[in-house]
Amino acid sequence: MTNTTIAETNARNTWLKLLAIIAMIFDHAVYGWIIHHNLHTEYWQGWRSPGRICIPIFSYLIAWNMAHNTRNPPRYATRLAIMAIISEPIYWLYFGYNGNAFIPLAAGAIAIIAIQNRNIWLLALTALLTAAIAHACQDATIIAQTALTGTAYLWITTQRPAALLASLALMPALNGLCIPFTLMIPITIALIAWAMHGPATRPIRLHKAMFYAFYPLHLLALLLVWGPA
């Protein structure tokens, strides 16, 4: 992949990142509204569907950055892990359970480091720790998103069909196989395909700190609006 192609994809990725941030804020705001009005059923959960595109998009963005946009993958993974630690108390207060989005993103980044270095022991340790965290949080989607970040990286760097098929197979598990959420998968795939192969577009300036800071800050804001779950 040429430097020009990477730069063009980076430009589209900034728009995709902004869309994913908006989608996540929408998802979490609607969740608070559902809980606040005691409407927590699968039917009402469907109102969150547009926001669920953010989960695989963030996995793709982490994988892309690990492949093309960071000179120091361990430092990048460390930043993600630090944000997971910072965000967890606020996440727990708002949602009433554990497992914030930075956990699988950090685990996925560490898995990619293992893949880059062909370190089977680090990969196995990452898998075990991810499974332990998922068990503690009672959230199997943590495993699915960690795996998706890894398979997305393999697809980006190798273009092997098996990596693409593995990524597609993991997507339904990201949302606990909830049908309304699963229906958003084709839209998500189309958006990621546009980011990777779409026409040239002008980038928007998003400071990298915004990607990290928005997550705990928007949860804190929603916590102040809706109160604890």
pLDDT in tens, 30-68: 988 888 878 776 667 788 889 999 999 999 999 999 999
Q: What is the pLDDT of residue 43?
A: 67
pLDDT in tens, 10-21: 999 999 999 999
Coil/strand/helix, residue 225: helix
Q: What is the pLDDT of residue 167?
A: 95
| Residue indicated by tokens 């669920």 | 52
pLDDT in tens, 69-81: 999 999 999 999 9
- Count the Cβ atoms, other than its own, within 10 Å of residue 112: 26
Q: What is the pLDDT of residue 14?
A: 93
For 138, list phi and psi in degrees, rounded to 5.
55, 45
Q: What is the pLDDT of residue 68?
A: 95
For 201, list phi and psi in degrees, rounded to 5.
-145, 160
- Contacts of residue 195, defined as CB under 8 A and 6 or more positions apart, other chains included, come to 9, 12, 13, 15, 16, 60
Residue 102: name the closest of 138, 130, 71 by CA: 130
Rounded Cα gap, residues 52 and 74, in angstroms: 28
- Contacts of residue 176, defined as CB under 8 A and 6 or more positions apart, other chains included, come to 140, 141
CA dihedral of 67, 101, 145, 173, whole degrees rounded to 10: -150
Q: What is the pLDDT of residue 109?
A: 98
